[in-house]
Amino acid sequence: MTESLKETKELLKFVIDVVEAVDQSISDGALSLLDATNFVDPIFSVGAAFRGINNVPKEISELTPDQVKELCDYVTGELRLSDEKVEDTVKKLLESGLRFYELAQFIKNAKV
């Protein structure tokens, strides 16, 4: 893992874990307590994802073409995507992760 992309990849890992857990949980059309086991991976990846999240916008803003390819390769490996959709998927995953963090901060600041 390129050290300069460490935080970004950790955020991607968390969002991918959540997306896959939700997909597995709703695949049969019903949610049950048994689906809780699908969320083990996100539980383990959340700490790393948000520990350095303040560095992610800087990492993203300084991406080189080689680093974009590295992120695309990483996401392709994690999700087994076709090449034509990978760049858009990386963008959506990063946007989702950053928005999730913004929402958590918003709620934290809104509490009395």
Residue 46 confidence (pLDDT): 94
Task: Specify whether the CB–CB gap between 61 and 43 falls below 8 A.
Answer: no
> Which range of residues forms the domain containing residue 55?
3-110
* pLDDT tens, residue by residue, 33-87: 999 999 999 999 999 999 988 889 889 889 999 999 999 999 999 998 877 889 9
* pLDDT tens, residue by residue, 82-108: 778 899 999 999 999 899 889 988 998
Rounded CA separation 27/7 (Å): 30
Rounded CA separation 94/100 (Å): 10
Which amino acid is it at 41?
A: D
Domain count, the chain: 1
The maximal CA–CA distance of the chain, rounded, in angstroms, is 47
pTM: 0.87
Other residues' Cβ atoms within 10 Å of the Cβ of residue 4: 15
